[in-house]
C-alpha cells in the first residue's frame, strides 16, 4: 500500500511539472504596472488562505505545459510587453527559474506574484536578472500568520521580504488582503510597522477580501461585516497606505 501511494505521489508530481499552468489570461492592463501583459496561472499553492478566490487553481492540476505557454508567448511578441507569473503560487513550480529565462529571452518583462514562502527561488530569479517587478503578499503578522495562511512559515516569508528590501534593482510592492474574520486594524498596523522596521520604502496596498455566495472561496468564510477604519490606519501608519 505504501509503495502504491509513493508511486501515485510521484506520478502527481511528474504531471504537475509537465503541465504546470492552470490557465492563461491573454491580456491585462491592470496587473503589471506600466505594461500590457498576460497572466500565466501556475496550479498549486503552499498556503491555504480561506479568502482565496482561486480555489480551482490552488487545489487543481495544470492543463497547459511550459511549451504551450511559450507557444502562446511567441504569438504575442511585439503585441504584449510583459508576462505575470501568478497562481496559486508560481514559486512552487520546480522549473520556474528556467521558464522565466525563456520568457525573458523572448523579449518580455517578467512580473512575479508571490506569497514569499520560497526565498531561495526569489533569490535565484533576482541573481539571474530574470524578473523585473515583484508583488509580495504580506498575509498577516507573525502572531496571526498560521490562522490566515494555514502554515507556520512566517520566517521563510520574512527572508523573502528582507531579500527584496535589501536590493534596489527590481521594484516591488507589498499588498495585504483583509477579511474582518481574520485581520483587524491593529494587525494591519503591525504589518505596516514591520515593513518600516525592515526598510521598506514603498506603500502598503490594502485590499478588502470579497466573500459572497456567488464567489467561491477556499474556506467557508462569512460575508465581510465591517470594513477597515482606513482613516484610523492612515493616521498611525509609518508608511503610506494604498487602500483598494
Domain count, the chain: 1
Sheet containing 82-87: give its strands across: 21-28, 37-42, 82-87, 109-114, 133-137, 172-178, 204-208, 241-243
Domain extent for 131: 2-243
Q: What is the rounded average pLDDT of the residues 136-161?
A: 98
5-30 pLDDT tens trace: 555 444 444 445 579 999 999 999 99
User: pTM score, two decimals?
Assistant: 0.92
61-83 pLDDT tens trace: 999 999 999 999 999 999 999 99
> Domain of 69: which CATH number?
3.20.20.70
Q: Indicate the average pLDDT of the chain.
A: 93
Cell of 15: 504531471
Amino acid at each position: 500500500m505504501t509503495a502504491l501511494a509513493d508511486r501515485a505521489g510521484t506520478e502527481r508530481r511528474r504531471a504537475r511539472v509537465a503541465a504546470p499552468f492552470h490557465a492563461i489570461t491573454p491580456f491585462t492592463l491592470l496587473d503589471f504596472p506600466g505594461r500590457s501583459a498576460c497572466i500565466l496561472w501556475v496550479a498549486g499553492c503552499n498556503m491555504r488562505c480561506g479568502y482565496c478566490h482561486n480555489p480551482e487553481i490552488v487545489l487543481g492540476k495544470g492543463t497547459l505545459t511550459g511549451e504551450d505557454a511559450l507557444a502562446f508567448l511567441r504569438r504575442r511578441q511585439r503585441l504584449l510587453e510583459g508576462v505575470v507569473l501568478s497562481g496559486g503560487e508560481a514559486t512552487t513550480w520546480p522549473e520556474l527559474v528556467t521558464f522565466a529565462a525563456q520568457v525573458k529571452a523572448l523579449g518580455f518583462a517578467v512580473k512575479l506574484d508571490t506569497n514569499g514562502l520560497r526565498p531561495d527561488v526569489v533569490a535565484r530569479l533576482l541573481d539571474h536578472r530574470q524578473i523585473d517587478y515583484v508583488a509580495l503578499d504580506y498575509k498577516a503578522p507573525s502572531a496571526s500568520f498560521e490562522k490566515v495562511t494555514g502554515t507556520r512559515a512566517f520566517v521563510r516569508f520574512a527572508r523573502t521580504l528582507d531579500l527584496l528590501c535589501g536590493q534596489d534593482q527590481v521594484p516591488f510592492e507589498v499588498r495585504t488582503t483583509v477579511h474582518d474574520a481574520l485581520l483587524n486594524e491593529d494587525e494591519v498596523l503591525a504589518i505596516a510597522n514591520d515593513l518600516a522596521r525592515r526598510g521598506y520604502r514603498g506603500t502598503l496596498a490594502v485590499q478588502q477580501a470579497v466573500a459572497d455566495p456567488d464567489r467561491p472561496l477556499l474556506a467557508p468564510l462569512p460575508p465581510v461585516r465591517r470594513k477597515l477604519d482606513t482613516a484610523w490606519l492612515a493616521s498611525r501608519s509609518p508608511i503610506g497606505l494604498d487602500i483598494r
